[in-house]
């Protein structure tokens, strides 16, 4: 079993701290949007980017958004189970820097969206990128952290395969 270093660089507290920073940034930006936008509002920022207020009751790309409400608790449960598993992985594999960074970002993002589901019953999305009249589905800081974390996991695995 791998030993952890709770106080040193690369220890569990370091990785949980990174996840906490993601959660704080995510919730802070969502609070700003909730305070300054009504549901459905949009503000033009550039020719390819708007700030919007969208409520997503589903998962990525509004998957299951049209379900009857059970999906809220399903995604809360899934997020909490994933968070527990990720915390265990960070505890045992925290010495692998890129892997732990990836997991920390995913953990922070997952918990940021779980908090939304618990508080509001939906996830607050507000970043709207578009090109030639076509809009990418709106997303938030938590979603961004999950995406960057997933990309880091893929890169980490590709590096591991090339070494081995």
**What's the rounded mean pLDDT across residues 146-155?**
97
**Of these residues, 26, 116, 128, 143, which one is catalytic?**
143
- Is 143 catalytic? The answer is yes
**What's the rounded mean pLDDT across residues 77-83?**
92
110, containing H or E segment: helix 97-120
pLDDT in tens, 137-147: 999 999 999 99
Q: Which of 26, 163, 29 is nearest to 96 (CA)?
A: 163
- Is 125 catalytic? The answer is yes
Distance CA 112, CA 131 (A): 28
Instruction: Determine the pLDDT at residue 75.
Output: 79
Instruction: Determine the pLDDT at residue 60.
Output: 65
Looking at per-residue confidence, does 111 or 8 come out higher? 111
pLDDT in tens, 7-62: 455 699 999 999 999 999 999 999 999 999 999 999 999 999 999 999 988 766 56
- Percent of the chain surpassing pLDDT 90: 75
129, containing H or E segment: strand 123-131
**Of these residues, 26, 125, 128, 156, which one is catalytic?**
125
* 3 state DSSP class of 42: strand
Instruction: Determine the pLDDT at residue 1.
Output: 44
Q: What SS3 string covers 45-81?
A: CCCCEEEEEEEECCCHHHCCCCCCCHHHHHHHHHHHH
Has residue 83 got a pLDDT over 70?
Answer: yes
């Amino acid at each position: 079993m791998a030993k952890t270093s709770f106080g040193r660089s690369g220890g569990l507290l370091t990785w949980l701290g990174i996840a906490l920073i993601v959660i704080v940034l995510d919730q802070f930006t969502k609070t700003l949007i909730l305070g300054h936008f009504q549901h459905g509002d949009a503000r033009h920022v550039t020719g390819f980017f708007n700030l919007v207020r969208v409520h997503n009751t589903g998962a990525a790309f509004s998957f299951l958004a049209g379900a009857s409400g059970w999906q809220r608790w399903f995604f809360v449960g899934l997020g909490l189970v994933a968070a527990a598993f990720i915390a265990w992985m960070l505890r045992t594999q925290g010495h692998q820097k890129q892997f732990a960074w990836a997991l920390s970002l995913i953990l922070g993002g997952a918990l940021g969206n779980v908090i939304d589901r618990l508080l509001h019953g939906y996830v607050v999305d507000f970043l709207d990128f578009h090109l030639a009249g076509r809009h990418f589905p709106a997303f938030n800081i938590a979603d961004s952290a999950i995406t960057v974390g997933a990309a880091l996991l893929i890169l980490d695995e590709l590096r591991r395969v090339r070494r081995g």
